[in-house]
């Protein structure tokens, strides 16, 4: 469950099967008699037609027979349609009624935007803008998480190679940790030119570590170096010689990555 704020109105967004459903209840919460607007919208024949078309395209379990009956009734003075009736009669997937503390009527984003337009075209535009901002933030977060996971996976390969080829069995756990820290700093020195401690001392107000603030190119290079270092460790090459070799590799790869980025920016 996530939330966005549109015109000082907090709106919940609920994910079902990786799809976004936006709260219609929240949209009208600050409008006088707002709860009535949802059912009023559902009584509109144009709304029923739009919902039916969406369900036919996206919902293979949509009850077309019930939908046809509802369409024949829509527009009559006696026609009444609640969210519960619509869902139960048509097996709708586009609109759902969610119970509980954070419950209410939720609609798939396309249908939610249509409802917002019916309430207020201006509100719809602000809603779309805020929703798109949220999606961009989520993509950035996914990208950041992917970078960190890539670094973690390769770091495990790296530490496994160290454990199997550098650490004598008689070392204590404290000594083992010390060697691991040294090996991590081999990569830090090769790429960043400083140890983890030197970076922390130079940046006391920043949270995390230097890899959290690395560029995507630096993380790509770091990932490659971790794999290469694991091979060099397995081959029995000394730490000093590995550092020299890894530093040369880092310089070469960063030049290639930065040149490639600059070419893309020029395009």
Answering whether pTM is above 0.75, one says no
pLDDT digits (tens, 9 = 90+) for 63-102: 999 999 999 998 888 898 888 999 999 999 999 888 777 7
Residue 196 exposed, middle or buried by CB count within 10 Å (0-12, 13-18, 19+): middle
pLDDT tens, residue by residue, 130-181: 888 888 777 766 556 666 666 665 666 556 655 555 444 554 666 555 566 6
Residue 239: predicted pLDDT: 85
Higher pLDDT, residue 109 or 176: 109
Domain coordinates of the chain in residue numbers?
A: 2-119, 139-266
Mean pLDDT calculated for residue range 30-35? 79
Q: How far is CA 169 from CA 173, 184, 236, in A?
A: 10, 20, 16
The token pair that represents 216 in the structure block: 């995507």
What pLDDT was estimated at residue 219?
84
pLDDT in tens, 211-245: 888 887 788 888 888 889 888 988 888 888 888 88
Q: What is the pLDDT of residue 223?
A: 86
């Amino acid at each position: 469950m996530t939330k966005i704020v549109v015109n000082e109105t907090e709106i919940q967004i609920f994910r079902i099967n990786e799809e976004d459903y936006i709260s219609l209840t929240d949209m009208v919460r600050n409008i006088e008699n707002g709860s009535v607007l949802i059912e009023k919208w559902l009584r509109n024949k144009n709304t029923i037609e739009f919902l039916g078309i969406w369900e036919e395209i996206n919902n293979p379990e949509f009850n077309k027979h019930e939908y046809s009956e509802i369409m024949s009734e829509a527009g009559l003075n006696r026609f009444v349609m609640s969210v519960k009736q619509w869902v139960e009669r048509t097996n709708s997937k586009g609109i759902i009624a969610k119970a509980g503390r954070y419950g209410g009527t939720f609609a798939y984003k396309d249908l939610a935007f249509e409802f917002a337009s019916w309430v207020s075209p201006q509100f719809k535009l602000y809603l779309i803008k805020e929703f798109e901002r949220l999606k961009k933030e989520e993509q950035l977060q996914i990208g950041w998480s992917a970078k960190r996971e890539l670094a973690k996976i390769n770091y495990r390969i790296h530490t496994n190679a160290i454990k199997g080829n550098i650490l004598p069995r008689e070392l204590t756990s404290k000594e083992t940790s010390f060697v691991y820290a040294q090996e991590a700093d081999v990569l830090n020195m090769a790429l960043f030119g400083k140890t983890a401690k030197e970076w922390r001392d130079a940046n006391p107000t920043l949270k995390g570590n230097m890899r959290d603030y690395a560029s995507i190119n630096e993380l790509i290079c770091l990932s490659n170096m971790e794999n290469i270092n694991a091979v060099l460790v397995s081959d029995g090459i000394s730490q000093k010689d590995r550092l020299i070799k890894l530093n040369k590799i880092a310089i070469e790869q960063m030049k290639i990555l930065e040149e490639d980025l600059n070419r893309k920016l020029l395009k």
